[in-house]
Amino acid sequence: MKLFQLISCAALSLSLLGCGQSSGPNISTVATPAQPAAAPAVATASHSIGLVMKTLTNPFFIEMEKGARRAETEFGIALTVKTAAQETSIEQQIQLVNDLIAAKVEAIVIAPGDSVSLIPALKKAADAGIKIINIDNRLDPDALKQIGLGGVPFVGVDNEAGAYRAGQFLAANIRAPTQAAILEGIRSADNAHQRMEGARRALSENKQIKLVASETANWKIDEAYTTVKVMFTKHPDIKLLFAANDMMAMGASKYLHESGKLSVKVVGFDALSEALTEIKAGHIAATVDQQAAEQGYRGVALALRLVKGQPVAPVTIIETRLITAAELK
């Protein structure tokens, strides 16, 4: 599959590059991209904001950066973007936070690779007067409170609900005994846990479906290929597969097509353009769009609000939608 080779090569190349309280509602829901009128006014002086993402080896984060850059242009701020080499490079993310502290940015917007390990570094940033906005993968609320960093605003999707919808799609019309499996993300990441739980809940509601395997592939395309190969060696009759992101879905799809297992129904999560191509080709059945660019845009916009002393909702939920071949025609 040329797509797999292209993505792997692109990933390798990219990896070598380089709290205020709210007076508003507890949850803000964003269904469509924000309009300028709903965003903060353009700053009269340049403000410095840092964006820390997991990696650029996953196209999802490339889209997230595009949204953040749109906010940079719109609001006239100075945005510094830093990314780790891989989604599992947690120690590198910690160092990136320390680099932004040293650079004396006014706010840090972070999509953490781990929901707990980044918290001490972020506490150090907050103690230095830097505002924090958490996007994509939610920091653990209990761990935040324990370290004295409560009230970090979060921008992201309801991962459990999005995965539940994907699981319902997989389970639809299954009326005979059928085996299913799940490819999980990094298990210490809250969004990975929520997606696994959502898919598991949906699959369990159909009594004809038996979940025979749930393994992590750490969000990676190559690791998913290997993990699925082992899964199907142990459970050759799996017919339904939920992958917690599109990279893993594409790795799984590559193995399934190479091994001739064309009847397996695969669903991913992220709505990467490469995954949409796979859906059109009939190799993947569906994916969940979580508006990566909007998360980046909204995270930077809210960080600016904090810097300017304006109120920010504790939780901003970005709407998800299930994308199937029918929506792409």
The distance of Cα 282 from the centroid of its chain, to the nearest Å, equals 24
Band of pLDDT at residue 318, cut at 50, 70 and 90: very high
Q: Cα(234)–Cα(104) distance, rounded to whole angstroms?
A: 52
Band of pLDDT at residue 57, cut at 50, 70 and 90: confident
Same domain flag for 138 and 22: yes
Q: Cα(77)–Cα(182) distance, rounded to whole angstroms?
A: 41
Q: Cα(311)–Cα(275) distance, rounded to whole angstroms?
A: 37
The Cβ of residue 223 has, within 10 Å, a number of other Cβ atoms equal to 18
Above 50 in pLDDT, residue 134? Answer: yes
Q: Cα(303)–Cα(319) distance, rounded to whole angstroms?
A: 20
Same domain flag for 306 and 186: no
Same domain flag for 204 and 262: yes
- Predicted confidence at residue 45, as pLDDT, reads 46
- Predicted confidence at residue 44, as pLDDT, reads 47
Side chain identity, residue 92: Q
**What domain range is 187 assigned to?**
159-289
Same domain flag for 279 and 163: yes
Distances (CA, A) of 43 to 46, 71, 219: 6, 12, 37
> To the nearest whole number, what is the mean pLDDT of the chain?
89
Q: For residues 157 and 317, is the Cβ–Cβ distance under 8 A?
A: yes
Mean pLDDT for the stretch of residues 191-195: 98
Q: What is the CATH number of the domain that holds 58?
A: 3.40.50.2300
Q: Note whether residue 1 is domain-resident.
A: no
Please count the structural domains in the chain: 2
Mean pLDDT for the stretch of residues 277-298: 97
* Helix 221-234, helix 246-258: angle, nearest 10: 50
- Predicted confidence at residue 329, as pLDDT, reads 83
Tell me the per-residue pLDDT of 38-53, one tens digit each, with 9 for 90 and over. 444 444 448 999 999 9
Same domain flag for 122 and 77: yes
Tell me the per-residue pLDDT of 225-258, one tens digit each, with 9 for 90 and over. 999 999 999 999 999 999 999 999 999 999 999 9
- Predicted confidence at residue 22, as pLDDT, reads 34
**pTM, entire model:** 0.84
